[in-house]
Amino acid sequence: MTSADGDGLEGAGGGDAGAGADEPRTPRSAWPGVIVLAAGLVVALWIAFGRFLFGIGGSMTVWYVLLAIAVLILQAFAARAIILTAKNGYRSRAWTFIIIAFSWAFGLLNGATLPDSVDGVTRTIVSGADSTGVQFAIGVTNPAAIICLSLSGAAIFLGYYDARGRKPKYDEDAILDERDRLGLPDAWPANWAQISAEAAGVIPERGIRQAAEAGDRQGSDDSRPTTPDTRDDRDR
């Protein structure tokens, strides 16, 4: 196949399919991942020690430090996924950053509503020592912590999904036109599009060739004369 044919086939793939599977991509800036890590560290420090800024750090601090460490670990993995995405030459989706931002928001809310005991009195940053406010804050802080951790975990999943790159988009009409231009057989199997996608990855040429070969085999089978022997073979 000539280079012109290869260029045409790349164009038929559409979208990211134009770049070969083995073609290296230019790495992007890793700063978004660094920022995510830094912000995650700030949120973790707020959860662990934010109460000390308001003079209400007390006996519960050790438990909140453990919670902060869990948040930081999840945020670090999310940041690593974003950096890996950039290193692979891909762009992280907007939803990845949106979910991370929401995890920060719930982490800050959690830190602001965590109760702590000072001189035998339970206090929070948002309510002080008011008993009604403390009860309300306690009702908020537990769901906030759970949502923060859950969103951080979801960000990790989305981040590593982004690092794999987006699946190529195929223009079926363009691929059919390219098949006709190359003079490939018309006898294609019914699932030719699936064969093309699976076989090609991001290089449509292989998929077109494999689908054409499958069509040849199917056409040759259909063209065989029908005899009792071949009928029995097909039945089997």
Helix, coil or strand: residue 128: strand
Mean pLDDT of 168-174: 59
Which tops the pLDDT comparison, 228 or 15? 228
93-99 contacts at long range (C-beta below 8 A, 24 or more positions apart): 93/158, 93/162, 95/158, 96/155, 96/158, 96/159, 96/162, 97/32, 97/36, 99/151, 99/154, 99/155, 99/158
pLDDT at 35: 96
Give 2's pLDDT tier (boundaries 50, 70, 90): very low
**Cα–Cα distance, 19 to 21 (Å, whole number):** 7
For position 128, what pLDDT does the model report? Answer: 85
Q: What is the CA radius of gyration of the chain?
A: 29
Rounded (5°) CA angle 143-145-146: 65
* 26-75 pLDDT, tens digit each: 888 889 999 999 999 999 999 999 999 998 888 899 999 999 999 999 99
Tell me the pLDDT tens digit for each residue of 97-133.
999 999 999 999 999 999 998 888 899 999 888 889 8
pLDDT of residue 168: 56
pLDDT at 138 over 80: yes
Tell me the β-bridge partners of 123: 116
Nearest to 148 by CA among 114, 194, 105, 119: 105
> Regarding predicted confidence, which is higher, 178 or 162?
162
Measure the CA–CA gap between 114 and 123, rounded to whole angstroms.
Answer: 8
CA 115 – CA 97 distance, rounded (Å): 29
